[in-house]
Amino acid sequence: MIFHSFRKDNSRHEQKQQPHIYTLEEKALDFFHEIYSYNDLKEILYRGIVSEHNVNILLVGPPATAKSLLLQCIHEKVKDCIYYDAANSSGPGIIHDLVNHRNARIILIDEIDKINRKDQAVFYSMMETGEVNITKKETSIKFKMDNPKIFATSNSIERLTKPLRSRFSVYNLQEYSDREFIKICVTLLTSKFYLPSILSALIAQLLLEKDDKDIRKVLNIAKLVRPEDNENKIKRVIETYLKYQTDYNKTESN
């Protein structure tokens, strides 16, 4: 009887479900689940996020490569993280702002190539030692950050100074194919805005017909679309949106 009882208890113990221990790869895929493809790159970015070292990562590629989406995902989910759109910022301007955010663990800079080359030097020492020391005319800024990391995007590597490039681990992304563009739109809009997959694919397809793969436009349009909208209504929203857009990237001077 004693032996039988022991076997019965042991059987219950063996049948008890053990909690699943997630691997780093699984955590990375879950972290970036809203973004289609780039599973290997997602792991690299996640490793950079959790690393105790000052990892600096640069994503380079043309529009329609989800570079900005990856940064936005990090910004939404990581504490002590600050985001800058370099198209509307300067190097010294970012540094001035970091005075009030010196505890930031990760600094995200979208389109860092938009920062004037002569201003890019402000990041050199910060990326290596965390130290910031700038003296210009009557302005002097000096402080130290604790092992900061910079994750940035760039449309063109050539617009970055060699010293800045050398401080980054650079990953080159290729433009999505039309099929991939539709898949990323469906993945993003169904998870982020809870739009039906049919409507999400329709938004992507209508933009492709306009020869446009700008993910930012997809997000802006999705915010205006209602789940009950039919194809004609969505088409009207897209046509109106595009009608009043100006491509500043093409008109801005170098």
What's the confidence (pLDDT) of residue 227? 85
Token readout for 47 is 């490793």
- Give 195-231 pLDDT, tens digit per residue: 999 999 999 999 999 888 888 899 999 999 998 898 8
- Of the candidates 232, 173, 177, 235, which has an alpha carbon nearest to the alpha carbon of residue 207? 235
Q: If DSSP codes are grouped into helix, strand and coil, which group holds residue 81?
A: strand
CA distance 30 to 20: 14
pLDDT of residue 242: 87
Q: What is the pLDDT of residues 100-130, one digit of tens each?
A: 898 999 999 999 999 999 999 989 999 999 9
- Among 56-60, 102-106, 136-140, top mean pLDDT goes to 56-60
- Which CATH superfamily, name and number, covers 24-172? P-loop containing nucleotide triphosphate hydrolases (3.40.50.300)
How much is the pTM?
A: 0.80
